[in-house]
Amino acid sequence: MTDNDGAIQSVLQEDRVFDPPADFIERCGGAWVESKEQYQTLHEQSIEDPEHFWGAVAEELHWFKKWDKVLEWECPDARWFVGGRINACWNCVDRHVENGFGDQTAIIWEGEPVGDAGPEVRRLTYADMQVEVSRFANALKKLGVQRGDIVTIYMGMVPELAIAVLACARIGAPHSVIFGGFSAQSIADRVTDAGSKFVITCDGAWRRGSVVELKANVDEALSMTDLVEQVVVVRRCENEIDMHAPRDVWWHDVVADVDDTCPCEEMDSEDMLFLLYTSGSTGKPKGIVHTTAGYLVHTFLTSRYTFNLRHHKNHVYWCTADVGWITGHSYIIYGIMQNGIPSLMYEGAPNHPGPDRFWDICQRHEVTHFYTAPTAIRAFMKWGEEHPRRHDLSKLEVLGTVGEPINPEAWMWYHRVIGHERCPIVDTWWQTETGGHMITPLPAATPTVPGSCTLPFLGIDAAVVDESGAEQPHGSGGLLVVRKPWPSMLRGIHGDRQRFIDTYFSRVDGMYFAGDSARRDERGYFWIMGRMDDVINVSGHRLGTMEVESALVSHDSVVEAAVVGMPHEIKGTGIAAFCTLSPDWSADDRLRDTLRAHVAEEIGAIAKPDMIRFTDALPKTRSGKIMRRLLRDVAAGREAGGDMTTLEDLSVLARLQDDED
Ligand code: WT7
């Protein structure tokens, strides 16, 4: 079993088991799941009768009309809470106001720039959110947005982003959020694929002290498609932008003369809540479809249990992801707000103005729950532990990680330097497609082992199997699958039924195949080994190697390109590109820079290759398939190994290995 993504391998062998701290439950004033035994019992029951289990969770939400049936499942099609009527915004916002908790903080927002008086901070209570969301929902309606219209959101991390997302949910218009780091071309592709007529954006976004020109990117994207009728623009950075009347309108203008109240649409359980584009093995990114009720139920429960969120315990929860990724959707907005917990949103970079910015935020806002990615932890390690040491992190209760396997070195550092050896670490495995946590420790119940995401969440039937679906013996690698449907599973790929079936439900009969390989140890704990497809995980962000290859060959100089993952100290996986050039270009550093800029222009800065190697030929099989396995070895600086009998021309490989770039 090989993993394809070339992630860093750990040097540290750490097989100590870390039990939940003895005083954790007392310190936190209780826990939803209190012991390993309780977890085991609950998990067994939930797997035996998932409908009963999830039905009981769903009872906790607000419904306009109760469901008739918890689940209808005909692989690959799941329908959860059939016949129910519900609204996501109501459950995130109005419910708390109705229950008398309107004055509780919903969002704590901190801007990136730090002036003499410190950074700008905004606090919105649930009652404030009800008003702001209703006003913007009314504005959207006035602009012509109707139930079912897909609204594209391309914004920085400002409170208006959460308001926009919830306003869409309120009126039954599915949102499609695009991460602000993506290029104009990426926006155009996604707008076109979604058939979206409305875009919400900002003039700019602050990032490491400079302004990212979001509106200019939207303008460029919209020059490639004439689908879009209206663009709403939030004024944030006051950078100079073009406003094209009547297409472009300011947020502050459209909310100026609308009503403060707006009813929540009664949505069917299975109505689409949002589309979120993510990379796959082939072609352009695919629009993952999530629907309403199941997604809400799953993100509600996982937020509560994985982080041990408890109402009225002075929690301040901070997930450092961008709302442009699924992590931000599920664990900044939907899951956290359903639990009525203050969710902190930070606008900018972790090292602006200094490398201690995150710890300064944790101290000032008394953060109790902190959720970040291994790539960030590795960067903090490199910057030095004196930065967190200077700040009071004593309010922290639970630490979370997500996005890629965490190497034990980073886990131990997180545990020691940030958690002061008293905060459980929840290493959460899940995906854009799964909507919510799938394999994760529960902080008061699960003993943790650095590098393992431990055990399946309640109601989740995860397994490691071979191609026939047979469970693998402990210790041997296999395909990571989920054997039973779960509420927040994707319902499809927008406009591509066949790709949905082929990607997720064809590899192993009747089971969801995640694309990862994994093994289980003697405790039954899961260890994620890496992606098995041509997807790489760069700083926890998903990219298709083929997307990067297409971007490279779209430049005049490149005839053929092969992209593979390579170990990278901070990013986990870096991007290595091997290119053959057309004869009138010279293979030099200037061209390398040009190509890196070109990829950023085509996809976004996150896709810039870390290494570009020019070569006169790529290693191929006799049938013309590029042998990526060999390129991964070359990129990692390893001696290329394994079976080479199919290689067409051995000298190509020899030349690649001899070359230093
Ligand atoms: C891929 C999904 C889930 C939100 C962020 C990423 C990898 C994710 C872990 C983890 C090991 C992980 C997998 C997965 N991954 N979390 N805790 N341990 N690997 O979502 O962009 O859809 O990527 O990220 O390879 O398939 P995504």
Q: What are the tokens at 526?
A: 């899961």
**CA 528 to centroid of ligand 1, rounded, Å:** 9
Residue 584: CB partners within 8 Å, gap ≥ 6? Answer: none
What SS3 string covers 92-127? Answer: HHHHHHHCCCCCCEEEEEEEEEEECCEEEEEEEEHH
pLDDT digits (tens, 9 = 90+) for 275-287: 999 998 888 899 9
Q: What is the largest CA-CA distance in the chain?
A: 74
Residue type (1 letter), 339: N
Provide the 3-class DSSP secondary structure of residue 478.
strand
Measured from the CA of 401, which atom of ligand 1 is nearest? Answer: 17
In this structure, the residue with its CA closest to atom 8 of ligand 1 is 403
In this structure, the residue with its CA closest to atom 19 of ligand 1 is 404
Answer yes or no: are the C-beta atoms of 574 and 565 closer than 8 Å: yes
What SS3 string covers 531-561? Answer: ECCCEEEECCEEEEHHHHHHHHHCCCCEEEE
Residue 272: CB atoms within 10 Å: 21
In this structure, the residue with its CA closest to atom 27 of ligand 1 is 431
Residue type (1 letter), 335: G
What SS3 string covers 231-298? Answer: EEEECCCCCCCCCCCCCEEEHHHHCCCCCCCCCCCCEECCCEEEEEEECCCCCCCEEEEEECHHHHHH
Residue-level pLDDT at 311: 83
**CA 514 to centroid of ligand 1, rounded, Å:** 10
**Pairing state of beta strands 272-278 and 317-319?**
unpaired
Mean pLDDT by runs of 10 across the 661 residues of the chain is 63 84 93 97 98 98 98 98 98 98 97 96 98 98 98 98 99 98 97 98 97 98 98 98 98 97 98 96 91 98 97 91 98 98 98 97 98 96 97 98 94 98 98 98 98 98 97 95 98 97 97 97 95 92 94 96 94 95 94 97 96 93 86 88 77 77 48
Answer yes or no: are the C-beta atoms of 345 and 328 closer than 8 Å: no
Residue-level pLDDT at 3: 59
Residue-level pLDDT at 1: 47
Q: What are the phi and psi torsion angles at 76 (to 5°)?
A: -95, 20
What's the residue count for the chain?
Answer: 661
How far apart, in whole angstroms, are the C-alpha atoms of residue 112 and residue 123?
15
How far apart, in whole angstroms, are the C-alpha atoms of residue 168 and residue 89?
9
- Tokens 């915004």 correspond to what residue? 89
Residue 462: CB atoms within 10 Å: 24
Residue-level pLDDT at 658: 76
Q: Which residues, judged by CB distance below 6 Å to any ligand atom, belong to the binding site of ligand 1?
A: 278, 325-327, 402-405, 427-432, 453, 514-516, 528, 531, 537, 542
How far apart, in whole angstroms, are the C-alpha atoms of residue 297 and residue 292?
9
Cα 104 from chain centre:
27
Residue 559: CB atoms within 10 Å: 14
**CA 125 to centroid of ligand 1, rounded, Å:** 32
Residue-level pLDDT at 652: 83
Residue-level pLDDT at 9: 66
Answer yes or no: are the C-beta atoms of 106 and 343 closer than 8 Å: yes
Burial of 282 (0-12, 13-18, 19+ CB in 10 A): middle
Q: What are the tokens at 159?
A: 């409170």
Closest to 277 in 3D by CA, of 432, 78, 166, 153:
432
Residue 219 DSSP symbol: H
End-to-end CA, the chain: 30
CA distances from 582 to 473, 556, 561, 586 (A): 50, 8, 12, 9
How far apart, in whole angstroms, are the C-alpha atoms of residue 229 and residue 241?
18
Closest to 86 in 3D by CA, of 163, 147, 162, 172:
172
pLDDT digits (tens, 9 = 90+) for 160-213: 999 999 999 999 999 999 999 999 999 999 999 999 999 999 999 999 999 999
Answer yes or no: are the C-beta atoms of 490 and 515 closer than 8 Å: no
In this structure, the residue with its CA closest to atom 10 of ligand 1 is 429
Q: In 159-193, which positions are buried (b, 16+ CB within 10 angstroms) versus exposed (e)? A: bbbbbbbbbbbbbbbbbbbbbbbbbbbbbbbbbeb
How far apart, in whole angstroms, are the C-alpha atoms of residue 435 and residue 329?
9
pLDDT digits (tens, 9 = 90+) for 589-640: 999 999 999 999 999 999 999 999 999 999 988 888 888 889 999 999 888 7
What SS3 string covers 283-303? Answer: CCCEEEEEECHHHHHHHHHHH
**CA 51 to centroid of ligand 1, rounded, Å:** 26
**CA 600 to centroid of ligand 1, rounded, Å:** 23
HSE-CB for 11 with a 13 A CA cutoff: 2
The pick from 402, 439, 517, 539 for probing ligand 1's pocket by mutation, whose C-beta has the most ligand atoms within 8 angstroms, reads: 402
**CA 461 to centroid of ligand 1, rounded, Å:** 18
How far apart, in whole angstroms, are the C-alpha atoms of residue 289 and residue 275?
5
How far apart, in whole angstroms, are the C-alpha atoms of residue 43 and residue 307?
17
Query: Which helix or strand (DSSP H or E) is residue 480 part of?
Result: strand 478-482
Answer yes or no: are the C-beta atoms of 88 and 73 closer than 8 Å: no
* ω into 20 cis (within 30 of 0): no
**CA 146 to centroid of ligand 1, rounded, Å:** 34
Residue 176 DSSP symbol: E
Provide the 3-class DSSP secondary structure of residue 528.
strand
Residue 213 DSSP symbol: -
Query: Which helix or strand (DSSP H or E) is residue 396 part of?
Result: none
Measured from the CA of 428, which atom of ligand 1 is nearest? Answer: 17
Provide the 3-class DSSP secondary structure of residue 323.
coil
Task: List alpha helices for 339-476, DSSP H.
Answer: 357-365, 374-383, 386-389, 408-413
